A and B are shown apart, each in its own frame.
Chain A
Amino acid sequence: MADASLTAQTSDRAIVRPKLSRDDWIMRTVMVAIGVFLLIAVLLPLYTMMSKSVENKDGGFVGFANFAEYFSTPALFNSAFNSLSISILATLIILVVTFIYGYALTRTCMPFKWFFKLVAMVPLLTPSLLGGISLIYWFGNQGVLKDLLFGEKIYGPIGITMGSSYWVFPHALMIVITALSITDARLYEAAEALRTSKLKTFLTVTIPGCKYGLISAGFVVFTLVFTDFGVPKVIGGNYNMLATDIYKQVIGQQNFQMGAVVSVVLLVPAIIAFSVDRIVQRKQVALLSARAVPYTPKPSRGRDMSMLAFCSVIALIIIAMIGMAQYAALVTFWPYNLEFSLNNYDFDVMDGGGWEAFWNSIEMALYTAFFGTIIVFTGAYLMEKGRGFTVGRSAFHMVAMAPLAVPGMVLGLAYIFFFNNPANPFNFIYGTMGILVVATVVHFYTVSHLTAVTALKQMDPEFESVSASLKAPFYKTFAKVTVPVCMPAVFDISIYLFLNAMTTVSAVVFLYSSDTTLASVAVLNMDDAGDVAPAAAMAMMIAYTCAAMRIVQVVLTRGIAIKTQAWRNQ
């Protein structure tokens, strides 16, 4: 930084040019650099993957022969149908549950709201596999509540739907809560004044008010379930889904071409869902006028108590899922020896890389959070606060949105094709920690980017104008004003990246090497080898790490808020 300002000063003397333009050039160059990074890390690998899907094993062009083979194999085609029906079912269930849960949190005077908010976020701390593992202990053939299934098997569609619903719940809830929080109390006052019935008010005010949020949540859930492979891998039995098919083709048979074909098939609905969601989001603009009055719920005993009952049931299910995983991890030999022991924590004698995998995961998550936050926030800043260069800035925004439409497994497979090519100058990162970090940053880029943009939008552009007129270079404003003011968002982005790096399986399952085994992948591999209890133990280690990190984040944010956020309370 000292160097940069020094050169800036010396060259100022030499070239007589408006300060502004010089800053602009630096900003544009850095933004283009980040944009190029995204291009290399997202679009080029995807392109390579798509070209693989129309090639044979030796790299010759075969047109759509692979696709023809795919669609003529009933097994593979069935998977597409299975994926579709499970995703739709889970989406419907989750929309209803999150709506009621979110409604209780935002529009009622239910007690213990803080507790229910906290519990709802628990599934974010664990890999999606954990839900499947817990369900085996609850409803498997030796399950505690096996009889509740009335002879049906948990291995298959029932288990996948339950497990998926569990882990996507917080993702949907966050969107629904946001949607329900944005409302104009005057609409309800008007409805009351007009003596509109409660039901009619609900149908004509509440639902339309949050409909975009619900649609958005629906698409997020659909895409997550459709592209997740952790849950079906653990509890799918012989019920094939698209995501498990990719895994079987690539890991099981090293048939990369067919893996690429399934990836393209998986990509299509994800992109459709993404595009529809974008269009819907655009319509949401200006729903809330400047004169809107925030809604404050009034107590209503009957409603509040029934909401309390409902939320308690949901919270209980979440606690039961994570609690069972911890219990199973501590039991010596389920179900014949229920004494407690730490045998299942002896990861070093099991598949998946042992304790080293756990430490690798933490290292990988720290790198991802550190570098990811810098790249994402700088990119968002330059895009948001840059002047002119509209074409470049909107192009950057589009590239930054792209990762959201790419399922993790597709990204991972694309990385094999792209980076494991000796002719690629970036070939050296293949098999290293670096490729895992890059893949994870890219996989979770979009949400981080949007968080940064939202925080930056709240800042008055006056800051930039004032510092420009004071002849302060933009990077000083950035470091001394923008970053401190946006510190809470910066922490949000880091923790988001950290948690996801700890728990993700799909993006990294194709990319780890014997030196860079990861905890989340170890969960998968131990379960594959039949060591289900140790898999649960490792999943819980991930959960505790994530929880600890989250506490650190909350404390840091509080501490910094006192220093940097005092202005908000004026």
Chain B
Amino acid sequence: MLEQFGNSRAARTLVAAAGLMVVASAAQATDLTVYTAVEAEDLKKYAKAFNKTNPDINIKWVRDSTGIVTAKLLAEKNNPQADVVWGLAATSLMLLKAEGMTEPYAPVGVGKLDKKFVDSANPPHWTGMDAWIASVCFNTVEGKKNGLPIPTSWKDLTKPVYKGHVVMPNPNSSGTGFLDVSSWLQMFGEEGGWKFMDALHQNINWYTHSGSKPCKQAASGETPIGISFAFRGAKSKAKGAPLEIILPSEGIGWDMEATAIMKGTKNLAAAKKLVDFTITKEANVMYNKGYAVVAYPGVAKKVKHFPAGILEAMIDNKFEWAATNRKRILSKWQTRYDSKSLPKK
């Protein structure tokens, strides 16, 4: 009995191993390790579009929140694992560029992109895909239940009426959280920004790990108000959530999703092919499915459920400032707010 048992298991393992070998030899494709913070539901679509023209390159995604992908890349500095970064905050890529971790490359047709979306170095270290925009998700059903007026500005959110009703992402792990914090510091000034956050902290129910969670929680009524990004809000609204997507009147923070090749990649040729694809008109049409503002001029069409007036509301974001001050801001944020996690009395 034991022998039978052992043999059948061993046989199964052998079959599995043989199967793996067959798969490996059949797909003589280049494996490209791509780090990304793009929403999980879009990844398959992006890879499929790319493989239409490049079937011999196999993308292996490593996906996580912006802060985590950034931290991971920095931690792996001496032993880089990623070939390409496709879809990470431009502020993070600027940081990597400053650390000397990116490979400069001018993708074919880069001249056609909006200059704002291309690194100023020549050849550029990174190229932008689309803009991703802060916004507030407000659950109208829960708002009514709790007697909450619809907030129209960031400052509104610090009013006592919203106490315990606001959720926002932790900027240390979430790129959305960071672009919020960085935009407040730019709009209200360094001192005013921290003062604003002190007041906001009084109303915060909890900080989340990812930038999409606040809006998903607002969509399901776990919280009436989630500080998140417009893309997520529109997606949830499309699914039937009673959401109002609000662009606060002071202006909204934003960041670019961008692409770069990692220095030292062993698959430089394949990496270049991928980056070439990421800036094509076709790719930009694809980004436009979820994002209202994209790098390729003339492509953007109105996105369903997106609030009007986005372009006007976007602040004049100082990316270089945000990138160079990122570390300082995050550690200050952590000592001020992450530490105040005593049980609420």
> Footprint of B on A, CB under 8 Å?
73-75, 78, 82, 136, 140-142, 153, 155-157, 237-240, 248, 251-254, 256, 333-337, 348-352, 363, 366-367, 370, 422, 479, 483-484, 487, 513-515, 528-532, 560, 563-564
Closest 5 CB pairs of A and B: A530-B216, A75-B339, A530-B213, A254-B71, A349-B41
Cα-based distance from A483 to B210 in the complex (angstroms): 50
Nearest chain-B residue to A421 (Cβ)? B79
Complex contacts, A253 vs chain B, CB 8 Å: 67, 71, 172-173
Complex contacts, A256 vs chain B, CB 8 Å: 75
Q: How distant is A565 from chain B, measured CB to nearest CB, in Å?
A: 12
- Report if A251-B213 is in contact (Cβ < 8 Å); known contacts: A336-B141, A560-B1: no
Complex contacts, B240 vs chain A, CB 8 Å: 333, 336-337
Query: 21 A-B contacts, Cβ less than 8 Å apart?
Result: A142-B222, A155-B206, A252-B172, A256-B75, A333-B220, A333-B240, A335-B220, A336-B141, A336-B240, A349-B40, A352-B40, A370-B13, A479-B2, A484-B1, A513-B62, A514-B60, A528-B209, A529-B40, A529-B210, A530-B208, A530-B217
10 other A-B residue contacts (CB within 8 Å) besides A252-B209, A350-B40: A251-B68, A254-B72, A336-B220, A336-B242, A352-B40, A370-B9, A513-B62, A514-B63, A530-B212, A531-B216
> Is B105 among interface residues, defined by CB-CB distance under 8 A?
no
Which of B210, B216, B220 has a CB less than 8 Å from the CB of A142?
A: B220
Complex contacts, A515 vs chain B, CB 8 Å: 60
Q: Which of B185-227 contact A (CB under 8 A)?
A: 205-210, 212-217, 220-223
The tally of CB-CB contacts under 8 A between chains A and B is: 122
> Is B170 among interface residues, defined by CB-CB distance under 8 A?
yes
> Is B74 among interface residues, defined by CB-CB distance under 8 A?
yes
Q: How distant is A480 from chain B, measured CB to nearest CB, in Å?
A: 9
Complex contacts, A82 vs chain B, CB 8 Å: 343
Which of B9, B79, B170 has a CB less than 8 Å from the CB of A252?
A: B170
Complex contacts, B223 vs chain A, CB 8 Å: 141
> Is B239 among interface residues, defined by CB-CB distance under 8 A?
yes
Find out whether the CB atom of B1 lies under 8 angstroms from the CB atom of A514.
no
Complex contacts, A240 vs chain B, CB 8 Å: 341
Nearest chain-B residue to A491 (Cβ)? B5
Nearest chain-B residue to A559 (Cβ)? B1
> Is B301 among interface residues, defined by CB-CB distance under 8 A?
no
Complex contacts, B79 vs chain A, CB 8 Å: 422
Nearest chain-A residue to B170 (Cβ)? A252
- Report if A136-B342 is in contact (Cβ < 8 Å); known contacts: A253-B71, A256-B75, A529-B40: no
> Is B241 among interface residues, defined by CB-CB distance under 8 A?
yes
> Footprint of A on B, CB under 8 Å?
1-3, 9, 12-13, 16, 33, 40-41, 44, 60-63, 67-68, 71-72, 74-75, 79, 141-142, 170, 172-173, 205-210, 212-217, 220-223, 239-242, 335, 338-344
Nearest chain-A residue to B78 (Cβ)? A422
Cα-based distance from A367 to B16 in the complex (angstroms): 11
Complex contacts, B239 vs chain A, CB 8 Å: 333
Cα-based distance from A252 to B64 in the complex (angstroms): 10
Which of A251, A336, A529 has a CB less than 8 Å from the CB of B212?
A: A529
- Report if A254-B2 is in contact (Cβ < 8 Å); known contacts: A78-B341, A239-B341, A335-B220: no
Cα-based distance from A422 to B76 in the complex (angstroms): 12
Q: Chain B CB within 10 Å — which of A136, A238, A333, A513 has the most? A: A238
Nearest chain-B residue to A483 (Cβ)? B2
Q: Chain A CB within 10 Å — which of B170, B205, B220 has the most? A: B220
Cα-based distance from A176 to B258 in the complex (angstroms): 57
Nearest chain-A residue to B16 (Cβ)? A363
